[in-house]
Structure formats: structure tokens, C-alpha cells
Amino acid sequence: MTQFDHIFREAIGRVYNEGADVFSERTGYSTKALPGLTYEIEPAQGFPLLTLRKIPVKLFCAEVVWMVTGHKHLDFIRQFTKIWDDFAEEDGTMETAYGYRWRHHFGRDQLLELIEHLRQEPSSRQGVVLMWDPASDGLTAPKKKNVPCPFTWTANIIADKLNLHLIIRSNDMMLGNPHDTAGFALLQAMLAQELGVHVGKLTVSISHAHIYENHYEQVEEMLAREDHTHDEIFCRLPEHSFQRALSEDAELVNELFQMFKSQYQPAPPVKTMQIAL
């Protein structure tokens, strides 16, 4: 197993074996849930791409490029997946799209300002990027099709390494977590390349880590995969990846996909898991 396979297997084991039984009124499913789950990864020593089961590699590559573009319409991402259509408005846009909120929603370009800020002041501890809008998300605000699950992240440079701390309010550990972890590790690599520094630590903190009852069988199967072996996977970005993403270069998605695919030999699939909307 890779380092991330071990981390992920330990995390789902904790949630499954130690989590409380919690019924979700929103989805109508029971879950096993654990608060305050945190893990640390060193992506330079092995990219966190889960191999205990196959995950759709091109999907997270396409999403990261889409996020960097800052668009809320789905035209770019629909070239690669229709997964976000369920959350879109009738005009084909998604107001809570992470990249849109990074770059436009709050009246400033948080993403480009982060890069410029860390260039000017590498020792800064103020590299905070938000996706959550307290004016319209959660609490007693009207329900909407989607609210951000990863809702903020911070970036800092220590010892010439870019570190990223992702905070997730709610995480479906079987479907969402491997996808989110790989996606933000890829974003971290792009930002580090753009800043001319090395990739440092990726920390993921989850306020409400849960496993849905209709995924229990798959959890048990993955926990039983003790003998699975896989070499570490490394992220070797094409040159100027961040700038190419800014320019909406769809070919970048294919290059990223091929880079990971050439190293990826996951364990056999598990039974199809249904997302809880």
C-alpha cells in the first residue's frame, strides 16, 4: 500500500469502528460519524491518489483546472464529466463553484492575490482562501442545491516548502474524501510550481467525517485489503501548469491524466457506491 492508502484505511476504520450512529435528515440515510478527524500527508514523498480502489483520475484533474479558471458555468468541466449537473441552476451555472468563489464571489481574486502575496511576503501567515459565504450559506439561510463541503484552506511557506491546510465541514469518506484529497494535493503542487518552491505538507481536517450505511459493505471490503501493494505515485507537473489552467487549456487535463494513469494500478473495483444528495 502507498502512504495514502495506509492513511485512508486507518481513517475509514476509525469512522466505521468508533463513529456514532447518526441519522441524516437531509439525505434520509443513517451514517457512522466521527468529529474532528485530521491527517497529514507529504505529497512529495507520494501523491495521495487512492489505490485501494479505483477512483476517476481525470475527474479530479479536470475539476482542479476548472477551479483555477474561476468559472461558475459548467461549459469547461462538461467536456470531462456531467457530475455537477445535479447542482447546477437552469442557466448551467453553479454559484457555489469553488473556483468562482476563490476568484470572483467576494469582490477580490483570492487565488491570484494569494500567489502575489506569498511572492512578496513568503513568511506570511495570512494566506487564507474562503469558499464559504456566511451571508448565504448554512445556518438559517434558505436551502440551496449545494453548499461548499471544503470551505476554507490556508497556504504558507516554511523552509522553502508550500504547505496547504484544507478544512472540510462535512466529508463522505468513501466517495468525497479520496477525491478531495487528490484534488487539493494537485492544486498545492500547481501553486508550489508557480511560486518556485517545493511541495510541503498537506493537512486535511474534517469537522464531520462520516460513512453512509449503503457503503458499509464496501468499507469492510477495503479494510480487508491488507495485502494490496502499490508503488508510490509522484506528481510531475507539466511546465507552467497553473498558467495553462488560467488560460483554460483543456489539453492540460489530458496531460495530467496521462501522467497519473501511467503510474496507477489500483486494486479491483468495489461494488458501485451511490452518492447521497
Domain membership of residue 146 (yes or no) is yes
Q: Tell me, yes or no, if 149 is annotated catalytic.
A: yes
C-alpha cell at 13: 476504520
Contact 99, 70 (CB under 8 A): yes
pLDDT of 219: 98
Axis crossing angle, helix 110-120 with helix 176-195, rounded to the nearest 10: 50
pLDDT one-digit tens code per residue, 147-205:
999 999 999 999 999 999 999 999 999 999 999 999 999 999 999 999 999 999 999 99
pLDDT one-digit tens code per residue, 96-120:
999 999 999 999 999 999 999 999 9
Task: Say which residue, 26 or 99, is predicted with more confidence.
Answer: 99
Cβ of 242: how many Cβ atoms within 10 Å? 22
Domain membership of residue 273 (yes or no) is no
Per annotation, catalytic residue among 97, 149, 195, 233: 149
pLDDT of 236 above 70: yes
Q: What is the number of structural domains in the chain?
A: 1
Strands 128-130 and 198-212: unpaired
pTM: 0.97
Domain membership of residue 268 (yes or no) is no
Domain membership of residue 109 (yes or no) is yes
Q: What is the mean pLDDT of residues 225-232?
A: 96
Residue range(s) defining the domain that contains residue 79: 3-261
CATH number at residue 21: 3.30.572.10
| First vs last C-alpha separation in the chain | 31
Lowest pLDDT segment from 85-94, 131-140, 239-248, 251-260? 85-94
> Cell 487565488 appears where?
111
The sign of the torsion formed by the CA atoms of 190, 192, 198, 199 equals negative
pLDDT of 277 above 80: no
Give me the phi and psi of 111, to 5 degrees please.
-70, -50
Query: For 131-134, which contacts have Cβ atoms below 8 Å and span 24 or more sequence positions?
Result: 131/96, 131/98, 131/101, 131/102, 132/169, 133/101, 133/105, 133/106
26 falls in which pLDDT band (50, 70, 90)?
confident
For the chain, the average pLDDT equals 97
pLDDT of 276: 79
